[in-house]
Structure 1
Amino acid sequence: MKSRFRRTFPLLLVIMALMSGVLPATNIDASQLPYDTYYKDGFGQLIQTQAAYLPSEIIGYDMEVTAEKDIDNQETEIRQLHQPKDLFVDKKDHMYIADTGNNRIVELDDQGVFIRELVVAESPLNKPSGLYVDEAGFIYVADTGNNRVIKLDARGKLVKEFPRPETEYLPEDYKYDPVNLIVDKRGFLYITSLGAYQGLLELDPDGNFIGFFGPNKAEFSLFDAFKRFVYTREMYQRELKKLPGAIANATIDNNGFIYTVTKEIETDQIKKLNIAGLDQLAGKGDFSHLQSERSYGEFHQHTQRDALPQLNDITVDASGNMTVIDGLWNMISQYDSNGNLLFFWGGDVITATSKIGVVKSPSAIATNSNGELLVLDSTNNLIQKLRLSEFGHLVHEANALTQEGKYEESEPLWEEVHRLNEQYTPALIGLAKAAYKKEEYKRAEELFYAAGVVGGYSESFWENRLVWFQKHFGLLMNLALAAGILYLAWARLRGKLRPKSGFGFRFKIRFPLLNQLRHVFYVMKHPVDGFYAIRYESKASFAGSLILLVLSVASLGYMSAGTSFVFNPEIQAGIDLIPPLIQFVGLWLGWVVSNYLVSSLLRGEGRFRDVFNSSTYVLFPIILIGIPLTLLSNVLTLNELSIYQFLKFTIIIWIVLLTVWMVQGVHNYTFVEALFVILLSVLTLLIIVILIFLFLSLSIELVNFINSLYQEVIIR
């Protein structure tokens, strides 16, 4: 017996190896994953992490044509899925599939075993694209080919039909092509209609039209504002309508929040809507101060080809984590309940091969009670089941505690996550929030800074600043009192010590360069006269102007690199000062040239050197206010943001006013003439920039042509 086993054992190994190469595996080790998992922080830096989900099982690949008995004891034919479009998991973890190509609904149990198919014999389905099963077991189907939504009971019998609502409030051009739907606890339907930019169509349980829910907003640019100002009604009517993006899919969680995904927009592709239709994700998130507009649907930078992600579907688990699928890049992205990215992953799809865990055409996604993800592949006609890895489970558990405000309880879990991956930013954020909760503000400040979270860093810094003031308040008050006494004493003695003829040690500055630099303060007080003096009294020179220009550029660089992280978060990721400073100097020189050319044609009296010298004096507010503002920013928090913005805005306004007064004083223009010349100078500068850009582009093309010609000659 043993000898027979020894002879047959190698044969069994060969057979098992062949079968493993043919049949899809049901489990796969993390080291064998066909995809990588990433995280992207608020600065766009890509960080590779341990896998959050592992392929667990493939469902639907082994369906064969057989005869089975359904719940009505009738024979039914099990067929392979064909172009399935939607997937729904009910409270028992049964899977319902909208098998569009076969015009049916398929129900599988929690193990993926076929239970039945629903074809609605009394009113056959035609291209069903979406479905929803409520808590009572009623099945709602978006029957796209028949332009209707139907309601079936638990046995699959037709209960009610929802055709296009008969109401005058529905636009005549509205195309009623239901592709997906959800139903709330009241029985109200929210229908996604193909290409309907108005939002979700809301119907009551009787099919009466309630309104449109959660529409997107149309983009409105500065050019659109200009067209609105200058276009006539007839010109507007000839314009193509600018419509908002149409909602692609929606889901609803246990708390009644409705989630929508949209394909055709660049920002806010995911919305979490309350009953009033207000987005609960707007303004939230750990990086809200970094990202004024949030974009969802992640992708690898090296695979982007000027095409935005196309989000097809969204699912929400019991903790509120949102997972979306991207039909363009075949990526799966997961966010927490506030829209913070947790993970994203996906593999390169090769048409000729199939890999477990890699979805070729993700059309729908769902979550079961175990937290597993079920991704419907409409090309391979199967469902990929993904289970949480140990790392993913650890992150989910820690993040759930953090979202509930249990920061101290989450700290040990985040410590373990940080130990496993020191670069994973959510772990730093979780630890920072725990430190802040325990009033360890110094550590919280350091962790928030390392994570790049401006809001948390500002709050921690405010607490540290308060502690410092409380600790040194007595010393500060004593110093202030001593300074006041010294000032009063000096004020009384100054009058007695001062000679009647004035100070005998006053002297006149005899260095011309120092006099020219001192003239900048006169320009700040009397700008028109000061610039007039530059033109007609030689109050400026090239050396002095060059010093002011260098100081202005250096001050601008100091503002960019020295401003506090609270007001300049980019410094956390590092700043390359050379390109922006070169651009600033280039634009400034372009302004000098364009203003001189324009004023020469419009009887301006200023010479080129006068325009050059005066334009450097215009930049002095950058030095005068910029340096103190940069120093001040390091002791301010977001609570004093208005102070910082006011002083920064003062620099810009002051420079603009000085520019107007400079053109007046140097060229001897009136105020209106100066504004007109400045406008022409800006247009001229724009033309110069365009010409330089065209010249550089053509030069590069010429160099590439010569290089390719040279390579061709060498090869031959």
Structure 2
Amino acid sequence: MKNRRLRIRPIIIILITAIYIAWPISPATASQLPYETYYKDGFGQLVKTQAAYIPAGIIIGTDIEITEANQAAGAEGKTKLQLNQPKDLFVDDKDHIYIADTGNNRIVHLDEHGQYIREIKVTESPLKKPSGIYVDEAGEIYVADTGNNRVVRLDQEGKLLKAFGRPESSYLPPTFKYDPVNLIVDKRGFIYVTTLGAFQGLVQLDPEGNFISFFGPNRVSFSLFDAFKRFVYTREMYQRELKKLPGAIAGSTIDKNGFIYTVTKEISSDQVKKLNIAGLDQLVGKGEFAALQPVRSYGEVFHRTRQSVSPQLNDITVDAAGNFTVIDSVGNMISQYDSNGNLLFFWGGDVITATSKTGIVKAPAAIASNSKGELLVLDSVNNFIQVLRLSEFGHLVHEANQLTQEGRYEQSEPLWSEVHRLNAQYTPALIGLAKAAYKKEEYARSEQLFYQAGVVGGYSESFWQNRLTWFQKHFGVLMNVALVLGVVYLLWNALSKKLRLKGKSSVKRSARHPILEQLQHMFYLIKHPVDGFYAIRYENKAGWLSSILILVFALASYGYIQAGTSFVFNPAVHVGIDLFPITIQFALIWLGFVISNYLISSLLRGEGRFRDVFYGSCYALFPIILIGIPVTLLSNVLTLNELAIFKFLKLFIVLWVVFLFIWMVQGIHNYTFIEAIFIILLSLLALAIIVILIFILISLSIELVNFINSLYQEVIIR
């Protein structure tokens, strides 16, 4: 028995050791990564996800040896392939890798496994600081030869076919600087050159190198301050101003369908464009959160409060499914989006540890993808390529999303269900499941899922279908109720006429409470606003209690409007609305206007007292109660198809309140209509000055308190 135990013990030890060694292999690769992967929805909420890509190795560095012939000794020797400040990376149809080795004035060609094949230096016309590389379907090589201010076209063997210098065209200004740094070629052989600092867009050349046009330029941003300068500045002042130029394109790529993608560094929105042959951006208005984000921003960060500058995107790549990936040269982040610009993942790591951890890039210069779905990221400081391969979770998301993009919603449902099981907070899974439910006419479920995902358009469409079904089901009941109400209304009118014909009643109406009469004055004021406000001033038709009641109900109505409006028209309700700061802000602005209007009118022969301005300003808020609440209730049965109706009603409330304030100033202070508008503008200006003075006072008070506290600390220490 003892010998048997001795024989079994080594076997158990070997099995335990084998399990211990083998067990961490697959999970460790995803769980022990040097970076975290996130998703961010349209509301800016971060969701941590499983890793979409995991490190698969490093290409170049010290692991590649090349054979060099020593002609003098007649022998061959081994040497390390060392890059020097590489700037660009390209992967061809065979997954061969081409690197623009800028510092060594050459192009390095590797096979699909990252093994060295050759270097291209173009001995007949040497390269100088090449910064961009592109290989077409025929195997011809195009190089952005920055140092020589040209583009060269090489055959498959690397022999020079043609060199394209600065194009000659009257459309190019003499001051245009031609420094090619990147390029792509379409199926027609047209060349799109990215030049250093060229804000005009890509330089489009025909196959012979003739200038065609500038392609896909960015627009100049125009702010409110720019509008003010245009209104105030003279021509001479404008001439002394620095010209405001659009951002210069930093990099570009082209997909299999011929769409050209560009990335721009110096702008904070629309950094990525997907351009068709006419140069029109195909990402505008696309995306699941287009209603929440009318201005799109690409390039994600974990914590914007810690980011001193906006993401600086310097390169982009597109995979076979149309998903595009961008790299941020400042935050060292990698962000991936689908073909419509919807975010899929983003990840990155600390720059300080980038030189010692596989998978983190210290200075990402370029990015490319191969046919296996791997990402190759070129590190220009460490002079190697990080290879990232899809994880199981990433592959599952890509496959499900591709089916959804192709409209095969029912086929994508099992895949999205598995993604949702793995990560219940991953919003694209909810969107995919919602689209599948809508396709299967399960509108109640799709409405719920779209709401959970925060997608306004899908929610509205599902709600419209549910509303239609409900009306079809209850149409008979609704018509009967409408018919009964119509008959009752007609009978009531007939009965009222008969009662009026009998003469006046001998019973006198009892006197009403003054507050009730003051509240009833609101309805007279609606019909006769100027006379109504005049009566408040000279006939005491308002009081403190009635005015405060109206003000409280107006504040409550305003809060209800903010929190009770349907998700379709107010997507912020999806994440919750804090009513306290909103109502306090509204009340303070209203009170500030009351004070400033009284002060301004007192200086400009206004006849109203402070209490009259207070009463009138309270009564002017009545439309918020009268119409705001019904419109808010109505919003819960409307869809985006009725958006024009909802906007009109909201605009009507705003205009009515504005006119009531004008009539209030006119009636209370005995001004003309034009004078009332002028007084209101001056009141708003005074309000702005009061706000600025309060801000300065608070800032100085805080500084004084800090100074006294510091002085006290110094005295205590000494």
State the TM bucket, normalised to the shorter chain: over 0.9
Deviation, structure 1 residue 713? 5.4
Provide the residue aligned with 1:259 in structure 2: 261
CA distance in 2, matches of 1:503, 1:197: 84
Shift of 1:501: 2.2
Kept in 1, the 8 Å contact 2:566–2:632? The answer is yes
Deviation string, structure 1 residues 179-224 (Cα, Å, up to 9, x no partner): 0000000000000001111000000000111000001110112332
1:9 aligns to what? Answer: none
From 142, 145, 148, give the equivalent of 2:147.
Answer: 145
Aligned residue runs from structure 1 range 441-590, under 5 A? 441-503=443-505, 507=509, 509-590=511-592
Q: Secondary structure at the match of 1:268?
A: coil
Q: Given that residues 407 and 433 in structure 1 are in contact (C-alpha distance below 8 angstroms), is that contact kept between their aligned partners in structure 2? A: yes
Deviations 1:311-336 (A, max 9, x none): 01000000000100000000000000
Deviations 1:351-375 (A, max 9, x none): 6842100000000000000000000
**Per-residue deviation at 1:485?**
2.0
Using the TM superposition, name which of 515-524 and 42-51 deviates more: 515-524
Deviations 1:420-449 (A, max 9, x none): 000000000000000000000000000000
Task: Report the TM-score, using the length of structure 1 for normalisation.
Answer: 0.94
Determine the C-alpha separation between the residues in 1 that align with 2:26 and 2:328: 24
Q: Which residue of 1 aligns with 2:662?
A: 660
Q: Is the 8 A contact 1:28 1:54 kept in 2?
A: no
Q: Deviations over 1:2-21 (max 9, x none)?
A: xxxx9xxxxxx9xxx9xxxx
> What is aligned with 1:158?
160
- Counterpart of 1:20 in structure 2 is none
- What are the residue-to-residue correspondences of 1:190-339 with 2, within 5 Å? 190-301=192-303, 304-339=306-341
Of 298-307 and 28-37, deviating more is 298-307
2:385 aligned to which of 370, 383, 386: 383
Within the alignment, does 1:394 sit opposite 2:375 as a pair? no
Cα distance between partner residues in 2 of 1:329 and 1:199? 25
- Residue 611 of structure 1 and its aligned partner are, at CA, apart by 0.8
Distance of 1:572 and 1:515 partners within structure 2 = 42
2: CA distance between counterparts of 1:111 and 1:442? Answer: 51
Q: Which residue of 1 aligns with 2:67?
A: 67
Other structure's SS at 2:590 match: helix
Output the CA distance in 2 between the equivalents of 1:144 and 1:28.
43
**Aligned match of 2:687:** 685
Q: What is the 5 A alignment of 1:594-613? A: 594-613=596-615
**What's the CA shift for 1:710?**
4.7
Alpha-carbon shift at residue 529 of structure 1 (Å): 0.8
Q: Which residue of 2 aligns with 1:365?
A: 367
Letter in 2 for 1:68: E
Q: Which of 408, 430, 434 is 2:436 aligned to?
A: 434
Show structure 1 runs of 4+ deviating over 6 A: 25-28, 73-77
- Structure 2: how far apart are the matches of 1:509 and 1:434? 66
Give the AA of the match of 1:485. Answer: V
C-alpha separation in 1, matches of 2:586 and 2:148 = 62
Q: Deviations over 1:218-272 (max 9, x none)?
A: 0112332233233332222122111111111000000000000011111111110
Distance 1:467 1:352 in 2: 57
Shift of 1:670: 1.3
Question: 1:147 deviation in Å?
Answer: 0.7
The residue type equivalent to 2:39 in the other structure is Y
For 2:422, the aligned partner's letter is L
Q: Aligned partners of 1:600, 1:396: CA distance in 2, in Å? A: 69
Whole-Å separation in 2 of the counterparts to 1:369 and 1:572? 40
The CA distance in 2 between the partners of 1:230 and 1:618, in whole Å, is 35
Match of 1:356 in 2: 358
Residue 647 of structure 1 pairs with residue 667 of structure 2? no
How do residues 612-651 of structure 1 correspond to structure 2 at under 5 angstroms?
612-651=614-653
For the residue of structure 2 that corresponds to 1:498, the secondary structure is: helix
For the structure 1 residues 66 and 453, does the alpha-carbon distance in structure 2 shift closer, same or farther, using more than 3 Å as the test? closer
The AA in structure 2 aligned to 1:338 is N
Shift of the alpha carbon at 1:122?
Answer: 1.2
Which position in structure 2 is the counterpart of 1:121? 123
Helix, strand or coil: the match of 1:342? strand
- Contact 1:334-1:342 within 8 A present in 2 as well: yes
What is the deviation of 1:292? 1.1
Distance 1:107 1:26 in 2: 32
1-structure distance, mates of 2:571, 2:399: 29
Residue range with higher mean Cα deviation, 235-244 or 254-263 = 235-244
**Aligned residues of 1:595 and 1:678 also touching (Cα < 8 A):** yes
Whether 2:94 is the aligned partner of 1:58: answer no
Distance in structure 2 (CA, Å) of the matches to 1:96 and 1:705: 62
TM-score by length of 2: 0.93
Partners in 1 of 2:465 and 2:506 — Cα distance? Answer: 52
The answer for the alignment partner of 1:180 in structure 2 is 182
> What's the counterpart of residue 22 of structure 1?
none
Q: How far apart are 1:488 and its partner, in Å?
A: 2.3
Distance 1:383 1:352, change over 3 A: closer
Whole-Å separation in 2 of the counterparts to 1:648 and 1:506: 43
CA distance in 1, matches of 2:714, 2:439: 68
Task: Give the % identical residues.
Answer: 72
**Counterpart secondary structure, 1:631:** helix
Structure 2 match to 1:3: none
Residue equivalent to 1:10 = none
2:13 alignment partner in structure 1: none
Conserved? CA contact 1:606–1:666, under 8 Å: yes
How has the CA–CA distance of structure 1 residues 624 and 704 changed in structure 2, closer, same or farther, with 3 Å as cutoff? same
The amino acid across from 1:203 in the alignment is: L
Preserved contact between residue 265 and residue 271 of structure 2 (Cα < 8 Å): yes
1:63 shift after superposition: 5.2
Distance in 2 (alpha carbons) for counterparts of 1:334 and 1:64? 30
1:397-436, aligned counterparts within 5 Å? 397-436=399-438
Aligned length: 693
Secondary structure class of the residue paired with 1:354 = coil
What is the aligned partner in structure 2 of residue 46 from structure 1? 46
Query: Which residue of structure 1 aligns with residue 90 of structure 2?
Result: 88
Please give the secondary structure, in 2, of the residue aligned with 1:191: strand
The 2-side partners of 1:27 and 1:628 are apart by 56
- Cα pair 2:61 2:81 within 8 Å, conserved: no
One-letter amino acid matched to 1:153: D
Query: Does the Cα contact within 8 Å between 1:119 and 1:125 map onto a contact in 2?
Result: yes
Q: Give the Cα–Cα distance (whole angstroms) in 1 for the partners of residues 515 and 321 of structure 2.
A: 70
Q: CA deviation at 1:677?
A: 1.1
Partner of residue 30, structure 2: 30
| Higher deviation after alignment, 182-191 or 537-546 | 537-546
| Kept in 2: contact 1:314–1:366 (CA 8 A) | yes
Cα distance in 2 for residues equivalent to 1:471 and 1:85: 65
Contact 1:63–1:80 (8 Å) recurs in 2 = no
Counterpart amino acid of 1:362? P
Cα drift, residue 69 of structure 1: 6.3
Distance 1:584 1:141, change over 3 A: same
Residues 100, 26 of structure 1: CA spacing in aligned structure 2 closer, same or farther, 3 A cutoff? farther
2:153 aligned counterpart, secondary structure: strand
How far apart are residue 48 of structure 1 and its match?
0.2
CA contact (8 A) 1:527 1:662 kept: yes
Q: Give unpaired runs (5+ residues) of structure 1.
A: 1-5, 7-12, 18-24
Tell me the SS of whatever aligns to 1:669: coil
Task: Give 1:402 deviation, angstroms.
Answer: 0.2
CA distance in 1, matches of 2:520, 2:465: 43
